[in-house]
Amino acid sequence: MSKNGLKSCSKPKKTYVCEDCNKEFRDSFILKVHKRVHTGEKPFECTECKKKFGKKTHRDRHMLVHTGERPYSCDLCSKTFGQKYDMKRHRAKHTGDSFTFLCNVCDKGFLKKFNLDKHMLTHNVVVKVESVETKLSSEKKFNRPKKERIVIDNN
């Protein structure tokens, strides 16, 4: 019985676990899409240049390169961009914001550490996961313990 006198009837939510990295998902379809990270499957192909992508949204974003569409605009000067990241980087020049978290591999900048951590998975880098060093490979980018934060090893 809950504090408000009503019966509690919450049952545990089913989770789907990736066998390769132990990441958990609430939906079996999202697990299926996630598994492409490990298998390298890329079912979505650009009709213009034949480049392949693991997610439809990534293919659709890539298509802007060919169409010339620029859907993101700076709200301060109306300059338009094909990629949201490019618009955010441009806008930061107006506001004086700095990209505090910089990738030490490609110099891409991020306003939030979480986004840098996520980005680092695109590179083959040595990282520390709670004092355990792991070499991230392109085949197993998510071979770290679930919900652990990645810290760049600058040594």
Query: Tens digit of pLDDT for each residue in 2-40?
Result: 555 555 555 567 788 889 888 888 889 989 988 998 899
What CA–CA distances, in Å, run from 108 to 22, 43, 52, 93? 29, 28, 23, 15
pLDDT of residue 51: 94
**DSSP codes joined into one string, 79-104:** -EESSHHHHHHHHHHHHT----EE-T
- Token readout for 152 is 């760049």
Residue 82 contacts residue 65 (beta carbons within 8 Å): yes
Any idea where the domains of the chain sit in the sequence? 15-67, 70-98, 100-155
The class level of CATH for 15-67 reads alpha beta
58-70 confidence digits (pLDDT tens): 899 899 889 999 9
pLDDT: which is higher, 11 or 110:
110
